[in-house]
Amino acid sequence: MARGDSNSMNAHPTPELGQAGCKLVGQSVPRTEDLALLTGTARFIDDVRLPGMLYAKILRSTSAHARIRVNVSKVAGMPGVHGVMTGPDLVGKVKPWGDLMQDLLVGDHFPFAIDKVTFEGQEVAAVVADTKYQALDALEAIVVEYDELPVLVDPEAAIAPGAPLIQEGINYEFGEGNIFDRYRVRIGDIAAAEASADLVVRQRFSSNRQAGAALDPHGCVASYDSFSGMLTVYSSTQSIFMVRDCIADALQLPRNRVRVVAPAVGAGFGSKVQMFAHEVIASIFSMRLGRPVHLVLGRAEIFKCGTARNGQIRHAELFLKKDGRIIGYRDYVIQNSGASSYWGNQVVHIGTNVGLLPYPIPNLHIDGDIVHTNTAPGGALRGFGIPQIIWAKEQLIDMAANALGLDPLQVRHVNTIKRHECPVRTPIGQVVDSTSIDECLQRAADAIGWADKRAHRIPYEGVGLAISMKYTSCRHPSFDTDLSAVRLRLETDGTVTIFSSDVPHGQGHATFLAQIVSDVLGVGFEKITLAPADTANSPFGLGTYASRAAAVLGTACRTAAERLREKIVAIAAHVLEADPRDLETGSDRVYVRGLSDSGLYLENLAGFSAYRTHQLPEGFEPTLEAVATYDTPTEREGPDGSGNFSVTYAGAAHAAHVRVDPTTGRVTILDYVMAHDTGVVINPLIVEGQHQGGFLMGIGMAMGEEYVYDAQGRMLNASFAEYQAPSAADLPELTKLYEIPAPSQTIPGGQKGAGESGTGPVPAVLGNAIADATGVRFTQLPMTADRILIALREKERSKLKVFRYPDDMPDYTGPRDHTAWPKPTGGEGNLFV
């Protein structure tokens, strides 16, 4: 779907739906979700209204690290108040939960702080009242005494000897103190690689904490029915079964008495892929009062507690031969995961492993310390660790190319996996079934005018490249599964309902799943509906994250549709007295091949199998439902960090042409190219939307967003007014998006994930382009206009030809070269104690 012009409608012709022989998979079918979204009729969590509903609000810590005492005595008589709760009330009544690391529960999560807070924004108390304003008034009557403890904002300070302990009383399997997990990769022989390398490039890179910034806030409505003993929780979440099972476990309820329903969910990006305290708090209030309780978070709360991308410090080294071949990579990662464990550590494990692609590096020596600080918890976020390592690795590539006098395009080309080499197992163990990444690289370079721009330099203009690959779903690190499931039901009037528990939140499930079902069953597209995700009737599945929907859910859906088709054809064969092998489906009918104007309407066939079961063949099971699952054939991480975590890998090659204004530091993106391998694309319109969204998140990470904390761990920019997420008006128009498919050889339909591919390369592309334009090499994110301008001024004063920001600033206090780098805390001993 190359686009040479900016008119997107011309590039996505609307197919004629329902025509026999017209396959919908591969077509840009307009999304069925959009009408409700554009007319404001979609119901999000804040729109949920139940009879008798009350409103709860949470009081959150204003200190980042303190012992606390909470006095709620003034709340009871206040207008409209029905209840108040604090941590000590729940000790022994609610089971702690938390990250599962290698099957062991960390258990550092509880609905409230009990006697100590570990981050600003941690839950301290909650009130439920008739209206949310009465609840807010009651919060103001709660008195919290804070005995301040020393605050750790910086992860390096948190692992220094003598640093105060943040999470007390928890024994970690692989860590101690404020290090709650360690990571280690040992592949090949790094010492030999270092000895035989012609060039080693080394640089410390740091990356920023970034918010999910889903416009739909985190929140829930919990409704306990005391007559049936059923707790129903409506939640803005990405995974209904995870929430159900965690709430049931925390509250010690049977899982068949807990129901979780997803309303329309307005994005998550990974920030809604865990259970949160507010879901437990609302549930407890509802169970006490027997009334529905609405608890939706405000934006400042979400910034402070809603999980964000983990910032990392990487001490990265690339070992190369003089022809540009990479022979080794060494790295020491310190990740700032915030105050508690929420997928923080897996970002290092999975992100580092997959972020090494597309280079099959033979010798690897990587250590990671995954650290708690008194800041907002870090979790899953679009890219899941890949953008952070690509930021380092793809800039090292350019630095190496410059040092060797080679073209950075050539260095990437020499190292990347080629299409004809696939399937290939890399030294760290990834099995890449197919890829077009090298062709994507060439296309991106051509489309940006790489050779020409480098040959005819214009002051303060530059070009940059970066490539990355992204896993399409992943073996769940805490369990041992990567499961999605679909149930299809042919209703008695020939319409079809799709049931799935993978919550759609922008990926267009209702559209692309219907495309698959329509093609397989021959049912008209408009006759197919996706039911809302609801644990009461959806089959068990893991949720929507990790770019898994099209490949994993899509495969489950296709299989279910094929099973249903078999049943339909068997009935039709009986009714039409034909051989099933002579039958086709299409245009809402089953008909004998060659006689497309005859046959049996699915509407009649469905009625037959419901109301005339006595006329069905002997032994035929009437129900026109089919369930199918798909669980990807992947591996878990080995002790040496090796493994193939994903069934297939998408590819992304980006190129940027930028101009830097030397009077203001402002960067203008003059041109931007994205060439992707998304395998077989089910719906090009949806995939393009995902790439655009991935790019936007990458731009925010690269050019503006970060969590700004003061020395006391208070966030200074916890609002959209201050937090520098780009708006539509700030972004370049994307006119050069290309798909170069290398269909997956493992996913039956050939599709690969798209949700996160667009984010990985962006910060590195822009870092490389800005370095090319100005000679300033950023080693820190974000690259804001003020930093760029100050770096330019300092570069002029210092007369350095290549100036690193912030490393070469006179007031920089960090290590300026690798001789001053810290050592990993884990040593070489056995990680498993």
Partner 1 sequence: MTPFTYQRPAELAEAVRLLAAGAATTKLLAGGQSLLLALKERTLRPTCVLSLASLGELTGLRTAADGCLDIGATTTYAALTRSTFSGWHAEIAAVAGNLADRSVRSLATIGGGVCQADPRFDMPTLLTAAGARMRLVSASGERSLAAEEFFDPNGGTRMMASEILTRIWIAAIPALDGLAFEKFRFRAFEAAVVSVACALKLGSDGRIASARIVVGAVAKAPLKAVATAATLVGLRPADLRVEEVGARVAAEVAPLRAGQTLRQCYQSELAICLTARALARAAAQARKH
The binding site for partner 1 (CB under 8 A) comprises 133, 136-137, 140, 663-666, 704, 721, 724, 726-727, 729-730, 784-787, 789-790, 793
d(CA 539, CA 618) in angstroms, rounded, equals 29
- Please list the residues that pair with 182 across neighbouring strands: 369
Helical H runs in 141-239? Answer: 155-158, 190-196
Half-sphere CA count of 810, side-chain side, radius 13 A = 7
Shortest gap between Cβ of 793 and partner 1 (angstroms)? 7
Cβ distance to partner 1 smaller for residue 133 or 611: 133
Q: Is 219 exposed, middle or buried (0-12, 13-18, 19+ CB in 10 A)?
A: buried
Cβ distance to partner 1 smaller for residue 428 or 792: 792
Counted residue by residue, the chain has a size of 833
- Please list the residues that pair with 586 across neighbouring strands: 589
Shortest gap between Cβ of 217 and partner 1 (angstroms)? 15
Residues 6+ apart with CB under 8 A from 73: none
Shortest gap between Cβ of 718 and partner 1 (angstroms)? 12
Shortest gap between Cβ of 279 and partner 1 (angstroms)? 26
Cβ distance to partner 1 smaller for residue 704 or 713: 704
Cβ distance to partner 1 smaller for residue 245 or 794: 794
Shortest gap between Cβ of 808 and partner 1 (angstroms)? 15
Cβ distance to partner 1 smaller for residue 34 or 786: 786
Cβ distance to partner 1 smaller for residue 81 or 568: 81
d(CA 209, CA 376) in angstroms, rounded, equals 9
For β-strands 589-592 and 364-371, DSSP reports them as unpaired
d(CA 721, CA 723) in angstroms, rounded, equals 6
**Cα→Cα distances 247→241, 380, 590, Å:** 10, 20, 45
Cβ distance to partner 1 smaller for residue 666 or 818: 666
- Is 380 in contact with 211 (CB distance < 8 Å)? no
Shortest gap between Cβ of 200 and partner 1 (angstroms)? 32
Shortest gap between Cβ of 795 and partner 1 (angstroms)? 13
Cβ distance to partner 1 smaller for residue 531 or 790: 790
d(CA 401, CA 438) in angstroms, rounded, equals 17
Rounded to 5 degrees, φ, ψ at 670 are -80, -30
d(CA 609, CA 621) in angstroms, rounded, equals 9
Rounded to 5 degrees, φ, ψ at 47 are -85, -10
Shortest gap between Cβ of 325 and partner 1 (angstroms)? 40
Shortest gap between Cβ of 489 and partner 1 (angstroms)? 45
**Sequence-distant contacts of 402-410: CB under 8 A, at least 24 apart:** 402/802, 403/199, 403/201, 404/198, 404/199, 404/320, 404/322, 404/324, 406/323, 406/324, 407/454, 408/465, 408/768, 409/441, 409/445, 409/450, 409/465, 410/324
Tell me how far apart the terminal alpha carbons of the chain are, to the nearest angstrom.
52
Shortest gap between Cβ of 722 and partner 1 (angstroms)? 9
Cβ distance to partner 1 smaller for residue 412 or 787: 787
d(CA 574, CA 724) in angstroms, rounded, equals 64
Cβ distance to partner 1 smaller for residue 117 or 789: 789
Rounded to 5 degrees, φ, ψ at 335 are -105, 130
Shortest gap between Cβ of 456 and partner 1 (angstroms)? 27
Cβ distance to partner 1 smaller for residue 50 or 809: 809
Q: Is 724 helix (H, G, I), strand (E, B) or coil?
A: coil
